[in-house]
Structure 1
Amino acid sequence: MSTARDGVQTLIASLFSLPTISSADGPLAQLPSPTTLLPRAKPLPKPKPPTKWEQFAKAKGIQKTRKEKKIWDEEKQEWVDRWGWKGVNKKEETQWLTEVRANADVDHDPSKAARDARKERVAKNERQHKQNVARATQSTGPSTGPSTAPVPNSIRKKEIDRTLAVTRASTASMGKFDRKLEGEKKLKGLKRKFEPTEMAAANEKSNNMAILAKLDKEPTVKKSRKSESSGSDVLNVRKAIRSASKGKGSAALARDSGGKGKKGKR
């Protein structure tokens, strides 16, 4: 404790040895300007490219106003969150009484309709954010890679459509029961062609005869290289000669067969 006390006294004495100014809270010491430049651990962040709305607001001279996170609730007589858990944006989903139009459907659920509308707004914001990122990437080029040329709109649109088609077909229902996005086109695929249930007798006969011709046709078997070189599809001559001569070859087989014939004549 004595060491800490001595250190604090020395620090305070060195501070008040500097020029001081008077204030309502007492004298304040004026610290000297820093002389040592500390290096940054990371480079300065690059300015983000403006979004589509920021470009429009700048052209029209619209000033950006930041909304407060909390608003006053007249019913509860307290400040509540504008978004998030128990936010005012979910008020229509949790209220116990909701006004419904007279021509509404019998199974109309106002809570579900409000929840779907809120989720649709969230999805729209996310989609606009991705479009802004893609537009900024196109204008400035990718940060890494051999080429930094901007991507044409046609190629980027094809890539987005291809990615969307792959994600739609990645679910268990192959995208049949997935929620469609706004402006999404129907996927085009291969359509099966079915023959009519009633057709002319001549057409039906020709179709059946074509099937029978395919069934009656013998399968084509590729010839091996050995059979092609020997010239016979049934017997492999080289293998037969090698087996009969016990590996000596055709000359030895001919010599043995000729010698046996001369000996028999004698």
Structure 2
Amino acid sequence: MAAVRVEEVLAAAEEQEAEKRRSVVVEKELELEFDLGNLLALDRNPPPAAGLRGAGPQREAQLLALARDNTQLLVAQLWELPAERAGGAGGPLVARLPEPTFRLPREKPPPRPKPPTRWEQFARLKGIRRRKRTSLVWDEQAKEWRRRWGYRRAGGDPARAWLAEVPAGADPEEDQFARLRREKRERVARNELNRLRNLARAHRAGAAVPAAPLHPTGHQSKEELSHVARVARVSTASLGRFQPRLPKEPAEPPSRSGGRKRRFEPLLGNLAAERSRQLELLKDMGSKKPVLDITRAVNKQLRQEEAEAAAAKGKKQSQRGKRGRRQQRAGRSSRKSGARRQQQQRPAGSGGGKRKKA
């Protein structure tokens, strides 16, 4: 068995201790800037240029070591924050982060405000203010607190009551329960139609994008100039098919949509976006609720109402025409019967008839 020197054991122990100390202690020439609200650390120290040249395992090791040291400094700053136990004494130890100092840019633009509905416009015009009311009211019949509207509301549904009051001036033979059910169906259909109209109006308002200025400003970019040229080309009756082309313009004239109608995604691209699209497609296929096209539904309802109004108007005109033709036929038949009676009243020797030859 080989003898182990004391100097080697001490050197190994010192190296082990230095490695442990290096895992928690990081020395930097310039102090890092921290934004603990965003969990952000800014390192302004220049990286070693010799280790980052080229691509290889040495470069990857240098970048990994740099990221590890900066993360260690950020974690050390987090441990200096005041901490508390979440959910009692046995809960995890959490730290309250301060307010962020850096304003990070948004990935997407802020959402546009929703356009007001017809009722909101009317309320704003008339000065009607919304008063907050409690959702529960006392029901005298059930002797308990119930909802103001909806299922099991206070007072119950009048269409399902066992007794219905006949209004003054109403037909006593009319079924009041059927009338209440019919009025409820009409209210539900009217509210649904108004909801679809509001959604269609909001969809049209959200899809409307202000057009770019077409007047020359002196510092227009290439995209603006191409947009202006495309708009000027498709403004003709032939959509620019017979217009003379510019020197470097493509042979096929652009469409009104700017060539965005037939758009194909690249075969090799963003896999996360493709995965999200496929998941949305599977979600729509597995959902029992049908996908509703708001604009198409509203347009269909409007066309149906216009067709019904036109059919009712045509039916009234046809009834008026039939009444007039019936009166004309009645007048003709009365004239014919009068002429027939006059012929019967004439004497036999009158010269009104034809003479026979001898």
Q: TM-score, normalised by structure 2?
A: 0.32
Higher RCO, 1 or 2 (CA under 8 Å, sep at least 6)? Answer: 2
